[in-house]
Amino acid sequence: MENKIVGATAPVAIAKSNLQKVLEAGHLSVSAEIGPPMSGDRQNVIDKALHLVGIVDAANVTDNQTAIVRMSSIAASYLALQNGVDPVVQMTCRDRNRIAIQSDLLGAYALGLRNVLILSGDHQSFGNHKQSKNVFDLDSVQALQGLDKLMKENVFMGGSPLKAPIDFFLGTTANPFADPEELQIIRLEKKIRAGARFVQTQAIYNLDRFKSWMERVRERGLHKQAHLLAGIVVNRSVRSVEATAGVPGMDVPQSIIDRMRATKGKDGAEAEGVAIALDLIKELKEVEGVAGIHIMAIGWEAIVPTIVEKAGFLPRPKV
């Protein structure tokens, strides 16, 4: 169903995003990431987007990830959209209060951006502005709830009316490997109740643990209330897999590290990194309740088309 904006201006169709249409049609979605540059270099974003045209259904555009200053997610998302990729605007609660979150998203909406992924945001002590203040006026559950109300009831978080409706495809993140598991599941349930309609997971390496987490998710019926997109990271070297294993909240089994360590040279490591990703995808797409695969090829975006093709995901559905 398409909503229409009515009023003094000519009616404008509020089209659903490609990602939403793919998921709602029941296809397994395939998405990737566009990391905005640490500069105002628009060509950098355009090049990354062009690699993904026709390859993925959507691409996350990160919001100052690991608290490192980069081009804004909304600006980079707009460049991606103009160049044929359906972007997922990421919005953290770290840097903006409710005034800025709502204002920025009204702007995003006006630019035609339709997917929004709400997340807490890495603490600024990770990044390159450790001296900064953080905001956290809202947490991600509250941000989702407030935005859901803005969309459904046309009321701003402060209570005043929104004059023309907006409709985003709202998403969030979940980490199957953070603990305590029970509490993380409760929180995911709250995020979905608050308005998240799709959920991207932290990178999965430990399939057994992910499968047991998905059992908990299914017990509570969460996979039926939101589209769950399983995340994977693609590593190209021993160093990269070791670094990934060191990130808080990541669970990389020793067997994966050993597979990378057993390789010879750059080509060998890269081939194994791709093979690991394909093995993971093969299993993940069979897990009941997984609605999509989200590929994070950090620092190796150019490999995404190869992985998508080898995984048998091409051509992407036209919806």
Partner 1 sequence: MIIANQKSMDEILRSVKPFEKITVAGCGTCVTVCMAGGEKEALKVADMILLDAKASGRAVEINVTSPIRQCDMEFLNDREDELADADCILSLGCGAGVQFMAEKFPDKVVVPGINTSFIGVNRDLGYWTEMCQGCGNCILEKTGGICPVSRCSKSHFNGPCGGSHTGKCEINDETDCAWQLIYERLKRIGQLDRLYEINETRDWSTSRDGGPRSLVREDVKV
Report the interface residues with partner 1, using CB under 8 A: 93-94, 98, 120-123, 125-126, 134, 136-142, 145-146, 157, 173-175, 178-180, 182-184, 186-187, 189-190, 193-194, 202, 248-249
Peptide bond into 161 cis (omega under 30): no
Q: Which is nearer to partner 1, 87 or 121 (CB)?
A: 121
Q: Which is nearer to partner 1, 79 or 93 (CB)?
A: 93
CA distance 225 to 221: 7
SS3 call for 211: helix
Task: Report in angstroms the alpha-carbon separations of 286 from 9, 280, 293.
Answer: 47, 10, 11
Minimum distance between the CB of residue 172 and partner 1, rounded to whole angstroms?
Answer: 10
Minimum distance between the CB of residue 190 and partner 1, rounded to whole angstroms?
Answer: 5
Backbone angles phi, psi at 248, to 5 degrees: -55, 135
Q: Which is nearer to partner 1, 183 or 302 (CB)?
A: 183
Minimum distance between the CB of residue 57 and partner 1, rounded to whole angstroms?
Answer: 24
- Two structure tokens written together for 3: 């909503």
Q: Measure the CA dihedral 41/45/51/56, to 10°.
A: 170
Q: Which is nearer to partner 1, 16 or 294 (CB)?
A: 294
Minimum distance between the CB of residue 115 and partner 1, rounded to whole angstroms?
Answer: 19
Minimum distance between the CB of residue 312 and partner 1, rounded to whole angstroms?
Answer: 30
Backbone angles phi, psi at 179, to 5 degrees: -125, 165
Q: Which is nearer to partner 1, 48 or 98 (CB)?
A: 98
Q: 266, 235 in Cβ contact below 8 A?
A: no
